[in-house]
Homo-oligomer: A and B are copies of this chain.
Amino acid sequence: MDSLTEENYIKSIYALSQATGEVFVSELAKKLNVKQPSVNSMMKRLASKKVVSYAPYKGIRLTEKGKKEALSIIRRHRLAELFLVKVMELGWEEVHDIAEQLEHVDSKRFYSRMDEMLNFPKFDPHGEPIPDSNGKIHTQKRTSLSELVEGLTAIIAAVGEDEKSFLDHLNAKGLQIGDAVTLKKREPFDGSVTLQHKSKKEILLTHQVAERIWVE
């Protein structure tokens, strides 16, 4: 078993390696708010536990074992976030810090019940995929309205936010889940988008709103 601290290192290494594949000591130190020697000594420990492969002056890389552990932590974090938003109705901006603590709870049952209650969700409230209990990630990335190609038509599949004010806003714009929309134009300046709706009406959404709407 890993300590809480080790889990945080593993999670951060995974997150940073998503972009680059390899992680630098300095990056990790910055992310975790510790100094480089702390990272250095932790890498020695994690290497001896075979969760990272690490040689002096070479980058840090998770082993297969390490990746598995990272995915398990990420699963717990994302399930917790979704649970806090959907079941406990907390604001999506306030759940991160709580999920950061809940992710370290050691109890298979706790998480399997969350999973059940949320009906085995594939994505967290931010649209990030939730690994399943075997560490498998549903890789088909979700597309948000803010990244849809101009001219294409898509169906609104979900919104990444359940807040009443947000849903009210969409309602006021005349948008519903299941509606087909065509992306007429995206403003390069502020990322706002103009949609053609089935109702023939044109709808303007800010980037902030568009990026929280998932389409298929």
| A interface with B by C-beta (< 8 Å) | 84, 87-90, 94, 97-98, 101-102, 104-107, 109-110, 113-114, 117
Contact = CB atoms under 8 A, between A and B. Distances in A.
A98 B109 contact: yes
B88 A113 contact: yes
B90 A109 contact: yes
A56 to B, nearest CB: 33
B101 A105 contact: yes
B90 A87 contact: no
Contact of A107 (B101, B104, B110, B113): B101
Contacts of A90: 109-110, 113
A83 to B, nearest CB: 9
Of A94, A97, A104, A110, most buried by chain B (CB within 10 Å of CB) is: A110
B98 A110 contact: yes
Given A88-B117, A117-B88, A105 B98 contact: yes
B107 A89 contact: no
Of A98, A104, A107, A114, most buried by chain B (CB within 10 Å of CB) is: A107
A27 to B, nearest CB: 27
7 contacts: A84-B110, A88-B110, A88-B117, A90-B109, A90-B110, A90-B113, A98-B105
Nearest to A117: B88
B98 A107 contact: yes
Contacts of A94: 109
Contacts of A89: 113
Nearest to A105: B101
A117 B89 CA distance: 10
A101 B106 contact: yes
A89 B113 CA distance: 8
A85 to B, nearest CB: 11
A139 B109 CA distance: 33
B117 A107 contact: no
A52 B93 CA distance: 38
A117 B104 CA distance: 23
